[in-house]
Chains A and B, each alone.
Chain A
Amino acid sequence: MTDAVALPLPPAAAQPRSRVWRDHTGLIIGGTLLGLILLASIFASYISPHDPLQQDLRNTLQPPSLAHPFGTDNFGRDIFSRVLHAAKLDLMIGFLCVLFPWMLGTALGGIAGYFGGLTDTIIMRVVDTFSAFPFLVMVIGIIAILGPGLISMYIALTLAGWSMYARLVRAEVLVVKKAEYVLAARALGYQHGRIMFRHILPNVITPTIIFAMTDMVLVILSTTSLSFLGLGVQPPMAEWGIMIAEGKGFILTAWWMVTLPGLAIVLVGLALSLLGDGIAKILRERA
């Protein structure tokens, strides 16, 4: 009988525009959203309708309106402006509290993976100890020791977060270490430092970047939670968590003090998640 191939092959056409949009919806939306938020925070002073610090005691606890898109708080301050200004602080903390663990973790993980032996064992034992505690527990614990405050929070988030990066980087370095171009570099007698920076590092960075994006969501959530509890950023700085804490006392009359600043947090988190997933997808496809 005949060799019947009943189903036609899918057409190998060029990628039309709609295809790019469909495949990378998350990435595009996330990237745009994040870009907008970043711009808004950088130009907060220019686009804020009011001065975030200005009190107007005749207009306290006003619901959202055209004049005050997010309403006013118990001091009559415009919440929308405050949210924009707080964005700068929260985003910066989010970035730095991912950057520091990333730097510390990558350095230690890279050293452990590259040199191996005793160095590796010692560093990994330390990593294991730090990893044994749940993230929030460790952060709260460190703040308990150091006392509440912005600096304590930086230290706590860094110390609680670096071990994941160390593990990730070490695993990647162990693989890359055996690659031919590394062996070639060593045969040519290059110094360790040069090999690590110019040959190994560029190739192990990618997974850490993807991880950093999800980590940033976690860090921003932690920062706002800690500030809400009074353990992180201290008033009178404008920060989303603090604003919500201030609003807690007024939920009976002014829900917008709580709900609307929180929306900012959710939007940032969503943008970062979508962006991170989208980048991960691209890198997976390319591999």
Chain B
Amino acid sequence: MNTAAFLRKRVLQTIPVLIGIVLTVFLVVRLIPGDPARIMLGMRATDEKVAELRADLGLDLPIWQQFFHFLGNILQGELGTSLFYRRDVAEVIMERLPVTVTLVVFSVVLSVLITVPLSMAAAVRQGSWIDQIVRGISTLTLSMPGFWLGLNLLILFAVIYPFFPISGFGSGFTDILWHLTLPALTITLSLAPILIRTLRASLIEIMHAPHVEYARTKGLSQGRLIRRHVLRNGLLATVTILGVNIGWLMGGSVVVETVFSLPGIGALIVSSISARDYPMIQGIALVFGLLVVVINLLTDILYSALDPRVSYD
């Protein structure tokens, strides 16, 4: 099977998952005690408006018809109206989505740049002082709440030594990077302990694998050995580990956006929960679900591109 067919098949496989997510969000929202329409419009809405919304949402129809109604709306990009902003949910989300996506991408890049070399150093010199330091700092950072870490970074690098901006997203490529450095660093440092621990263990396992032992008998220098036979194989492990921990990345963005006042959907969901803005919460849940599916898809594709053992069917 060639690449195009493989991609097509893989994308098709995500459809049942997407439907599952929509179904879950649909059901969960209806789990909230009380009349959904009244919840959506708030306590002060008139009975007329509530009835109108009920008809609009088709709340008097049988449940399965409601679901298709819901699904239809979503496919048209119609996610409802925000109680708080009094605007289209889809519109608000679209405005703020790029911020979060940029933050997450930046964090992933930073994570790879920091954790891979550290894990390698710790794995290659297992038990040495480098290893001890890396693991020690990892244990320490593991006990630090992300929001506290972020605030301290802010204090240190934006207040005491005002090198970075305190808040906001910025505009223009370099300006945005400058604004996102501390936030991305916070997420990376919170995630680093878990990543380093898993990657280091994988690398150590690889270093004792039969193929490394055999390659050594060929007289390859230590450097060549590590580069060709450990690093390449370790890359696979890195992709897998990052993919598995993507949930933490997204969770991290919620906290970080709040700390650094970034106008992304992470901060949006917090304010929406506090404000009981159910249409918005529902919309964000759907978008988050979609993001996770897309990220998993990309991870799978990347993995199969890297590992020749994964056949295309």
Chain A residues at the B interface, C-beta cutoff of 8 Å: 133-137, 140-141, 143-145, 147-148, 217, 221, 224-225, 228-231, 241, 244, 247-248, 251-252, 255, 258-259, 262, 265-266, 268-270, 273
Contact = CB atoms under 8 A, between A and B. Distances in A.
A270 B250 contact: no
Given A231-B273, A273-B142, A140 B254 contact: yes
B15 interface: no
Nearest to A129: B24
B247 A137 contact: yes
Given A147-B276, A230-B270, A255-B159, A141 B147 contact: no
B281 A144 contact: yes
A251 B259 CA distance: 11
B310 interface: no
A71 to B, nearest CB: 14
B143, B154, B159 — most chain A CB neighbours (10 Å): B143
B181 interface: no
Contacts of A135: 247, 251
B244 to A, nearest CB: 10
Interface in B123-182: 139-140, 142-148, 151-152, 154-155, 159-160
A259 B147 CA distance: 11
B147 A251 contact: no
Nearest to B190: A221
Contacts of A140: 251, 254, 269, 273
A225 B190 CA distance: 13
Contact of A269 (B142, B154, B254, B274): B142
Contacts, number: 107
A273 B139 contact: yes
A217 B248 CA distance: 16
A273 B28 CA distance: 35
29 contacts: A136-B248, A136-B251, A137-B247, A137-B250, A137-B288, A144-B281, A145-B32, A217-B142, A224-B147, A224-B148, A225-B145, A225-B255, A228-B147, A229-B147, A229-B255, A244-B147, A251-B151, A251-B154, A251-B155, A251-B159, A252-B159, A259-B148, A262-B151, A265-B144, A266-B143, A269-B143, A269-B144, A270-B139, A273-B142
Interface string B16-38: 00000000000010011000000
A137 B144 contact: no
Nearest to A136: B251
A143 B273 contact: yes
A191 B155 CA distance: 62
Given A134-B248, A228-B255, A145 B31 contact: yes
Interface of B: 28, 31-32, 139-140, 142-148, 151-152, 154-155, 159-160, 247-248, 250-251, 254-255, 258-259, 269-270, 272-274, 276, 281, 285, 288
Contacts of B151: 244, 247-248, 251, 258-259, 262
A231 B247 contact: no
A270 B155 contact: no
A231 B274 contact: yes
B95 to A, nearest CB: 21
A140 B288 CA distance: 12
Given A229-B258, A269-B142, A255 B155 contact: yes
A225 B256 CA distance: 11
A29 to B, nearest CB: 12
A266 B146 CA distance: 11
A136 B145 CA distance: 13
B269 A262 contact: no
